[in-house]
Structure 1
Amino acid sequence: MSETIIEALAARLAAHGVCRFFGVPGGDCSLDLIEAAARHGIEFVVTRTETAGAIMAAATAQLTGAPGVLMTTRGPGLANAVNGIAAAKLDRAPLLVLADGHEPHQAHASHQRFDQAAVVRPLVKAESWLAEADPAAEIEQLIAIARTPPQGPVYVELVGQRIRAPLPAGATATPPPPAAPAPAPAAVAAAEAVLRASRRPVIIAGLQAAEPGAAAALRRLARAWGAPVLATYMAKGAFPDTDPLAVGPFIAGAAEDALLRSADAILLFGADPIEFLPTPWRYKAPTVMLTTHAFDREFHPWVAEVVGSLTDSAGLLEATVKPGGWSAGEIAAQRAAMQAAARTGTAARGVSPHALVDAVVAAAPDGARIAVDAGAHMLPVMALWPSELPHGALISRGLATMGGALPSAIAASLAEPERPVVAFTGDGGLMMCLAELATAVQAGCRKLVVVVFNDAAMAMIEVKQRRRQFPARGMDYDTADFAAAAAAFGWRGFSVAAPEQLAGALQQAFAADRPALVDVTVDREAYHSLLPALRG
């Protein structure tokens, strides 16, 4: 029996290290793909929504280095995945989006029909119908495109008549993995000129610093210079948070302002402006950018922009700065000030946000990874949780979508079943993906704990509403019992309404023999002082 195109697709995915893929199947090509993948040892994880499936696939790619794979049916399946595909684009995750299309003999059909490629075209780097003379080569090219910086999604529309056909004869050469360009000598010279004149540089690590090899280069560079390090949210853990040179997160806010204004140079190490807030660059020190790729938009005219391997660029610049410009006491004071800012705000009822984070830090097993949803709660979490490894915190920062923490945590639990995972989410974010609690149980996740900041509100937007002196309107949710909802899906559920209940509930959650959710009543009033302290 000759090999079919769908068999070739499954074989190439397996060859690139894909172990599982995610999505919601339809009744056509999805069935062929599930069977072909199983024959190549690739597990299919059925999710409750396509958006959650896309987020799981993207997180899997970030953690494993293999491309993520999402499968949807035609029409509503693909349409429902758009938010997750957008997250993969803006969070720089290599993702193959495989969707059913209409057969050639269905030209008369309008049911569930629209131009699917046109819908996702602004979000993908390439599109294909596997209709070229050498489909195996086409698959390889698509994977290479998805993995070339800036990494992102590609779209493949599957048509049964095509994918069930025999693979055309002829050998297909596997292209080598994409290589970063060599740093341009002129750009390196411009960076050297800035850094040789510097005695007090600050390093801001960005999402590219979490990639293989880059984190080690970052650690060598910072220690050679004795320079303080800030990390964007997606770079958290690329430089260990417990290192004496680590200060905390970079959000271009009030908490890190004093440090950056006392610097005489700033090095952006793999920082991608897609993570930055949409405000102008506010720092006067000359800034050098090290990046693996150029950017679509010029965020700021950096003094020097060195494009190439971060490891190579760091090696070329390692000897440019002599250590000693920063004292250990100065750096420790900056770190203490940031953590104090993250602990701003008290609770008149329930638990304060920072007290909840501190309690989880104290209770969590060593080596735990976290996933963090968008919302006000992410500020104390990202400032206070200590990460030691690249991708130690999974968070959407390019798109900054809500509803990402639980799917990302499920993906992390499946990728590394023995590593504990903690998902920090607000009540609003969890409600956007609540059905994925069922996915976690069905997929066999074990060491997974969800912590819900249940403040019955869109807390961050409420802060902005009050700042603009608008009436309090439209930000409240009815109170939800997430512990009971989790129990209905087969989780262990715990409710915490007062600080004295917190330690015991967390201890039981981390000791549970199945996924556990801790639903904590949080006083949202604390955010009205916490956000100004960190963001300004």
Structure 2
Amino acid sequence: MTHDSSAGADASLSGAQALVAQFAARGVKRIYGVPGGDCSLDIIAAAHEAGIAFVLARTESAAAMMAAAEAELTDSLGVLLTTRGPGLANGVNGVACAMLDRCGIVVISDGYENEQAFVSHQRFDQQRMLEPVTKGALRVDSPQALPAVGPLLDLALARPRGPVYLEVTGQGMRNKVPASSLPVQPARQAPLPAHPADAVAAASKLMAHARRPVVIAGLQTREAGAAQGLRDLAAAWQCPVFSTYMGKGALPDADPRMMGLFMAGGAEDEAMKSADLIVTYGLDPIELLPKPWRYGAPVLELSTHPFGRNHFTPAVALVGDLGAAAAQLGEGLGRSGWQADELKALKSHMQARAVAEGAGITPTLLAQTACRLLPQRARITVDAGAHMLPVMAFFDAAAPRDVLISRGLATMAYALPTAIGAALADPSRPVVAFTGDGGLMMCASELATAVQAVCKLTVVVFNDSAIAMIGVKQGQRGLERRGMDYSPSDFSLVAQGYGCQGLRVSEPAELGAALQRAFAADGPALVDVIVDPSTYPAQLRSLRG
């Protein structure tokens, strides 16, 4: 579609207005960022005119994660706005997170005008800095360059999704062009390819002969129709299904065929090594730990796109629509050799391996209690760190995107910003962010963003005054403990300082009531829980091997 011609043939738009029109056509509701004093101001003003809100974050990296969360949950474009130089540089970690976690966002920053070649202040090659973590870039020196913006935004949403960079100048944003010269249309996404008949036949043959098949569901199960295709296939085949962290919920955790999480070498190892066929369903190698593939069974790979690097060479690969592939392969498929009692025993085994008991408030106790008391339809976000092991094990997901977690970049300081983006993108669902103390300290100022944006979210802090996961690995290598411990912090007081409800728990008897009080709060709340990290080494060995 194009701009409404009723305004007259001589109607004109500023570059900023034309840019914002492209966002509106793609369903953008919010822009996240930390502005500067040049082009940011024009874009914020144009966005307000178009009904697109600007969310002022406290850091650019967190703003990028908020934009990525909104893109993920709305299946549209996320927008990050920064100023040049230090603003853009500070956002790079969040942009890298969007790149490796497959989220389509556009990163906007201003650049110097062409006639300002003499300037050195805050100047470096911004496009080159972002090149490894973006799919494409465009510089807009004048509104005449704006017709290329639409294809750039489409590139962000093309599979695999990821960030693109848009560098704008004052002339590009403030000069005017005829509205009729700038086509504005919704995102155009290339259709997924049809599956070749010979590949489908080869895949069907593998599946028909498999008696002990195992399915691993990955992040691509968030695509439309993919989760339902997996559910129908698992029901027909009656085989065990594991999921990656980002694939959790594709098959509900309550389903008797959903065994638990795939970590490539822990609790699921026996089942994987006994399999005579492994089906990777939407698994992206970016989700896997950096260790060799250790299973000898042939692999049938179902994916929406090919990969430049992979952990295995599939016997057969089907690239295209996952739901369509599942429907084709499930037609006439008989049940596997797995028996119901075997599946029940395997699932019980997986659940038992996740438990690590100890005195006081253990990570297991906190995760189990919090997950049991979560508000109805709660969505959770999970930071990187040792606490993610029990949280991911004990949270029951019913659908894709019930859990948001970074596994491509696996960055700390992810859970809180992502919870803010999720709460704004889908206010119908309460959001609970699970974080370690280290991750929260990297982004604690975003509690103020949650208050200012009136988000309905709760932050649960596993406070052990340490970088627990790295400390465990230090011990596994037989090294003396050094550089792993923080000075104690009271995050309940930090939260109160930013305007959140802040609670602190150090005794098991206080835990349930504090969590319930926080979950019932009208606005942002934080529960700072003092946990004993001594059970982490055993839990890590049990789950990851």
Q: Which amino acid aligns with 1:258?
A: E
What SS class does the counterpart of residue 51 from structure 2 fall into? coil
State the shift of 1:514 in Å.
Answer: 1.7
Aligned to 2:532: 523
**Does the CA contact (< 8 Å) of 1:492 and 1:517 recur in 2?**
yes
**Does the CA contact (< 8 Å) of 2:383 and 2:436 recur in 1?**
yes
Asked whether 1:503 is paired with 2:512, we answer yes
State the shift of 1:137 in Å.
Answer: 3.4
State the shift of 1:59 in Å.
Answer: 0.9
Q: Which amino acid aligns with 1:60?
A: E
**Does the CA contact (< 8 Å) of 2:142 and 2:172 recur in 1?**
no
Identity %: 52
Q: Which amino acid aligns with 1:57?
A: A
**Does the CA contact (< 8 Å) of 1:345 and 1:529 recur in 2?**
no
Asked whether 1:170 is paired with 2:181, we answer yes
Aligned to 1:96: 106
Distance of 2:386 and 2:198 partners within structure 1: 43
Distance 1:131 1:100, change over 3 A: closer
Asked whether 1:62 is paired with 2:72, we answer yes
Distance 1:282 1:207, change over 3 A: same
TM-score by length of 2: 0.95
TM-score by length of 1: 0.97
Please list, as runs of the form range in 1=range in 2, the aligned pairs for 1:356-505 lying within 5 A after superposition: 356-446=366-456, 448-505=457-514
State the shift of 1:134 in Å.
Answer: 5.7
What SS class does the counterpart of residue 3 from structure 1 fall into? strand
**Does the CA contact (< 8 Å) of 2:434 and 2:460 recur in 1?**
yes
The match for 2:356 among 327, 337, 344 is: 344
What SS class does the counterpart of residue 242 from structure 2 fall into? strand
**Does the CA contact (< 8 Å) of 2:230 and 2:251 recur in 1?**
yes
**Does the CA contact (< 8 Å) of 1:217 and 1:315 recur in 2?**
yes
- After TM superposition, the runs of 4+ consecutive aligned structure 1 residues lying more than 6 A away are none
Asked whether 1:35 is paired with 2:21, we answer no
What SS class does the counterpart of residue 450 from structure 1 fall into? strand
Distance of 1:173 and 1:198 partners within structure 2: 50
Distance of 1:298 and 1:177 partners within structure 2: 25
Q: How large is the Cα RMSD of the aligned pairs?
A: 1.5
Aligned to 2:328: 316
Distance 1:454 1:133, change over 3 A: closer
Asked whether 1:293 is paired with 2:305, we answer yes
Tell which deviates more after alignment, 3-12 or 76-85. 3-12
- CA offsets, 1:51-76, max 9 Å, x none? 00001101111100111110000000
Distance of 2:310 and 2:84 partners within structure 1: 37
State the shift of 1:226 in Å.
Answer: 1.2
**Does the CA contact (< 8 Å) of 2:22 and 2:184 recur in 1?**
no
Count of residue correspondences: 533
Aligned to 2:262: 250
Q: Which amino acid aligns with 1:199?
A: R
Distance 1:521 1:408, change over 3 A: same
Q: Which amino acid aligns with 1:76?
A: P
State the shift of 1:177 in Å.
Answer: 2.2
The match for 1:302 among 314, 332, 343 is: 314
The match for 2:125 among 96, 115, 125 is: 115
- CA offsets, 1:237-265, max 9 Å, x none? 12111111111111113111122122221
Aligned to 1:185: 197
Residue ranges of structure 1 left out of the alignment (5+ in a row): none
The match for 2:235 among 208, 220, 223 is: 223
Residue ranges of structure 2 left out of the alignment (5+ in a row): 1-10
Distance of 1:204 and 1:170 partners within structure 2: 49
Asked whether 1:260 is paired with 2:269, we answer no
Distance of 1:274 and 1:36 partners within structure 2: 37
**Does the CA contact (< 8 Å) of 2:66 and 2:421 recur in 1?**
yes
What SS class does the counterpart of residue 267 from structure 2 fall into? coil
